[in-house]
Amino acid sequence: MNHQHQLSLFSKQLLMPAIAGAFRKLNPKTQLKNPVMFVVYAGSILTTALAVQALTGEGEAPAGFILATCLWLWFTVLFANFAEALAEGRSKAQAESLRSAKQDVRARKLNTAARNATQILVNGSSLRKGDIVLVEAGDVIPADGDVIEGVASVDESAITGESAPVIRESGGDFSAVTGGTRVLSDWLIIRISVNPGEAFLDRMIAMVEGAKRQKTPNEIALTILLVALTLVFLMATATLFPFSAFSTEAAGGGSTVTITVLVALLVCLIPTTIGGLLSAIGVAGMSRMMQANVIATSGRAVEAAGDVDVLLLDKTGTITLGNRQAAAFYAAPGISEAQLADAAQLSSLADETPEGRSIVVLAKQRFALRERDMEKLQAEFIPFTAQTRMSGVDLHSGNTVRRIRKGSADAIRRYLNESGQALPPAISETVDQIARQGSTPLVVIDDQTVMGVIELKDIVKGGIRERFAELRRMGIKTIMITGDNRLTAAAIAAEAGVDDFLAEATPEDKLRLIRQHQAEGKLVAMTGDGTNDAPALAQADVAVAMNSGTQAAKEAGNMVDLDSNPTKLIEIVEIGKQMLMTRGALTTFSIANDVAKYFAIIPAAFASTYPQLNALNLMHLSSPASAMMSAVIFNALIIIFLIPLALQGVRYRALGAAVLLRRNLLIYGLGGLVVPFIGIKLIDIVLTVFGLI
């Protein structure tokens, strides 16, 4: 899928279809969808008729002038169509790469949810929601579904672009599978969760098809503003003709402004630049999301990402690395650190969790303790359970049993209370101190003797504090969500630099927190992957579901991260901000452009009707015809020059709204005022020197 990311903006694969698309979009029904450009389209048709009339010898102005105006107006329409077609072409290229991953395969449909059940070979496209299928090593999963039995390694590179396989198993948050992925080992029994045409891959293809993109609320509001400006200029331009005719008649000389000049003037004054590029900006925003391996269900979601006020971030895997590592041993009074390390290592030799392995490694590093022959010690390992919240080992020696346990302070306290003992005050104090530092304490006991505490430290990701500082400068509040106790959560929140945290979080707590911020008029973004995250994802304004998560989470979210990287939420916000910044910058440039063109061409264009206006011809344009033609040509060419900016976006900067506004006014506002004066004058010189007008 990722090979499309390498296509350059004007590569041949994108350029040729975009040129053809620009002509296809000349269909009146298509043009009506963009009211501003429809005015230019209508003006092009009108000047075409006037050019034909002029060529027969009955023109209102020289045939060459009308024909040149007509051609440049058509170029303006085509350039705007080209910008939109090029943006859509990038999305369609990505959709084609996704479509290539879609294939109809043979599926083994089962009559019951058992591996030895009766099998029927069917086409994958015939499967319906609720059907049960068996897939084994080497098989392609025929459709989206949930694993109801089995554990297998699955290659999802066709969807995510990542070569590393993932584990899928029944129950929990890793039971969802996607059609088109391949089973590498073992087997799975899957209950199909979608009907044909509703699969995740089908939805992704539809999402990235730019032509199907719905306009966002802000885009609709801006379109209404542009239409209003167009109507104002349309009425203003329409009144110029009778005024011109009256003035000419009253003065007994001069010439009346022609229809061709009025059409050209209208096209130059209405906001054609942003009108022609607005749709391309929106399509390009969704395309940039796709390049980040994020599927947005709508342009509304991308836009909302740029307006986010609050980010809810899971601690584990997002703010921290997720694997807690043993960092230190704190021995109890009367116990040496080496004795504690020995007991901790014995209790962890069969513990395959990252935490357990790190305890064994730390004991080796600190005290050169090597793994013992557990058969000679007649070791019986006690696995961790949710009920006991402890693990350990029983060492048998004759009729005696040495019981070593490690677990949370609360679990060990309950264990000791059963025999009438209590956790020593010194150990309780050490536990609290470790928790306040943001680490996790594990208490180790040998029989009924408390040996000490192991500190497990969850490492905060490098650079995350700086990212949060950037978000803060943008006015975005970050909230860490964790199931840890308040002491641990507070310490990690302080180290990571988040603005707030929610400790011991439950699904209800997350939902309540989101609603609370939304009630204050804020937009909230969050990530999730489990079924228990679905209610909060459905409530959030920007909800990013992990592709590795459950079907319920994906359906509740309005974005899906194919890489299943929780940190991607920060990048998503940046892409959304970039789209809004691009739209704001080009809108500022376009409106400033129109103001500049007004002062540049009005004096020259109407000098023959109102000779007094010559005093305002500050640019000293050579003639009224040259002034108008230069403005029309500039109006068309500026769209082409701005297409790369519209598609690639304004460079993202972590700045506040007020700073961004000042920056836009300085760069794009001032630039929009200055560039037309320079561009129109240069075109006027070229037209005059080469005698083209």
| Catalytic (active-site) positions | 314
Q: Are 517 and 309 in contact (CB under 8 A)?
A: yes
Position of tokens 């680490």? 439
Residue 539 labeled ligand binder = no
- φ, ψ of residue 252 to 5 degrees: the values are 70, 20
3-state secondary structure 349-410: CCCCCHHHHHHHHHHHHHHCCCCCCCCCCCEEEECCCCCCCEEEEEEEECCEEEEEEEECHH
The full DSSP string for 428-442 is: HHHHHHHHHTT-EEE
Residue 373 labeled ligand binder = no
Residue 388 labeled ligand binder = yes
Q: Are 522 and 309 in contact (CB under 8 A)?
A: yes
Residue 47 labeled ligand binder = no
Give the separation between CA 114 and CA 367, rounded to whole angstroms.
51
Give the separation between CA 378 and CA 564, rounded to whole angstroms.
43
Residue 385 labeled ligand binder = yes
331 DSSP β-pair partners: 452
Six token digits for residue 642 = 């701005």
Distances (CA, A) of 450 to 176, 405, 416: 44, 10, 9
Residue 372 labeled ligand binder = no
Burial of 273 (0-12, 13-18, 19+ CB in 10 A): buried
- φ, ψ of residue 32 to 5 degrees: the values are -65, -20
Position of tokens 């609290």? 432
Catalogue the E-assigned strands of 34-192. 106-110, 119-123, 132-136, 145-149, 151-155, 166-169, 176-177, 182-192
Q: Where are the alpha helices (DSSP H) in 258-349?
A: 259-269, 272-291, 299-306, 337-348
Fill in the amino acid letter for 103.
Answer: Q
Residue 390 labeled ligand binder = yes
- φ, ψ of residue 296 to 5 degrees: the values are -100, 130
Residue 216 labeled ligand binder = no
Residue 604 labeled ligand binder = no
Angle at 343 between CA 337 and CA 348, to 5 degrees: 120
Residue 157 labeled ligand binder = no
* CA 106 to chain CA mean position, Å: 35
Distances (CA, A) of 251 to 60, 242, 604, 625: 20, 14, 19, 22
Listed in sequence order, the residues at least 6 apart from 688 whose beta carbon sits closer than 8 Å to its beta carbon are: 622, 623, 626
Residue 131 labeled ligand binder = no
Burial of 520 (0-12, 13-18, 19+ CB in 10 A): exposed
Distances (CA, A) of 21 to 27, 78, 284: 11, 9, 16
Burial of 679 (0-12, 13-18, 19+ CB in 10 A): buried
The annotation places the binding site for Mg(2+) at 529, 533
Annotated binding site: 351, 355, 384-391, 406, 529, 533
Q: Which residues are annotated as a binding site for ATP?
A: 351, 355, 384-391, 406
